[in-house]
Amino acid sequence: MGKDRLSAGRGRRLASPTPGPEDIALDPATGLAYVACDARALALQKRPRGAIYACDLNAAEPTFEDLTSALDAPSPFHPLGVALWTGEGAKKLFVVNYPSEEASAVEIFDVKAGRLAHEATIRDGGGLMHHPNDVAPVDGRRFYVSNYVGSTSCFGQLLETVFERPQSYVLYYDGNAFRKVADGLRYVNGLALSPSGQTLYATATLAGELYRYDRADDGSLALRETIDLGTGGDNLTMDTVGDLWIGCQPNPRRFALYALRKQYPWLFFLPKHSPSQVLRLYLDEVGRYDGHEEIYRDDGRNLSASSVAVHHGHRLLVGSVFEHLLLCDLAESL
């Protein structure tokens, strides 16, 4: 690998104005982190509008700027997965919007000077995109999106989760329609596209695996590698040197119980915390797995249920499903 081993220490808490900073997209050219926040502990019908915040990782004391609350569209807005696409002299922010199963959408924003302008709402009339989680843009219009459960009924989703049934899938939107391009997965979650656009990476949280797919020009995927992470990978980000960073749920079953307590506080006998973990995955020159290291781990008291990590310079910003962010200064470890 030939790279310095890093450690993150305990880090310090950053409280976003809206809780639940579940996913983050970084613009390495500016150091701006786009943070998708939603009060996920509340039932959808009781949640206030979510928001995308900008957080400058170059600042000595990063603060948050709300980029979406003043926009007319989209409404309702409950952001989940987020990804930045840069190319052809433009920047687009893709955001999974999950107000309900029926109204699920991918929102596309134009990015100019760190400001957002809503450009398009993409919904699936065919009913395949009912539980979207993360998005990986191919260009300014086409993208992949993970659908983390295949069942549409509450009972079916319960069975699928409890018995870890492989029914989730990845969809491809070609600019006109959605179609399945990878299926039979156990809770497919985070997605990331390589800088060349030729490789798609996907985590399957319940399987504890990462998949590497070759992609064709028509968006089709061919599985080339399955990596056993030994942990529940959530969202993926790729840094400027080509390493993958993964926010992880080390104990997915404990996370499920913790999530129930967050949503239903009267279940006081369920776990109050859920552990957090961040992995750094090394890739070789053609994108194959070349080892990994654990950068951060916590029993959940400092940060519960880590879901994403972005690397910028000597800093690591870690998001979580329900709580706050963690800003860590990276240091070389022995």
Domain boundaries, the chain: 6-332
| Cβ contact 120:134 at 8 Å | no
pTM for the model = 0.95
31: left (phi over 0), alpha (psi -120 to 50) or beta: left
Q: Which two tokens stand for residue 77?
A: 């807005």
Task: Report how far residue 11's alpha carbon sits from residue 71's, in angstroms, rounded to the nearest whole number.
Answer: 33
Task: Report how far residue 263's alpha carbon sits from residue 60's, in angstroms, rounded to the nearest whole number.
Answer: 35
State the DSSP code for 47.
Answer: P
Task: Report how far residue 198's alpha carbon sits from residue 188's, in angstroms, rounded to the nearest whole number.
Answer: 20
Q: What backbone torsions phi and psi does residue 250 show, to the nearest 5 degrees?
A: -60, -25
| Cβ contact 202:146 at 8 Å | yes
Residue-wise pLDDT tens for the chain (334 aa)? 556 666 677 789 998 899 999 999 999 999 999 999 999 998 877 889 999 999 999 999 999 999 999 998 888 999 999 999 999 889 999 999 998 878 899 999 999 988 999 999 999 988 999 999 999 999 999 999 999 887 776 777 677 777 677 879 999 999 999 999 999 999 999 999 999 999 999 999 999 999 999 999 999 999 999 999 999 999 999 999 999 999 999 999 899 999 999 989 999 999 999 999 999 999 998 999 999 999 999 999 999 999 999 999 999 999 999 999 999 999 864 3
Q: What superfamily does domain 6-332 belong to in CATH?
A: TolB, C-terminal domain (2.120.10.30)
pLDDT of residue 333: 46
pLDDT of residue 161: 75
Q: Which two tokens stand for residue 76?
A: 């309702």
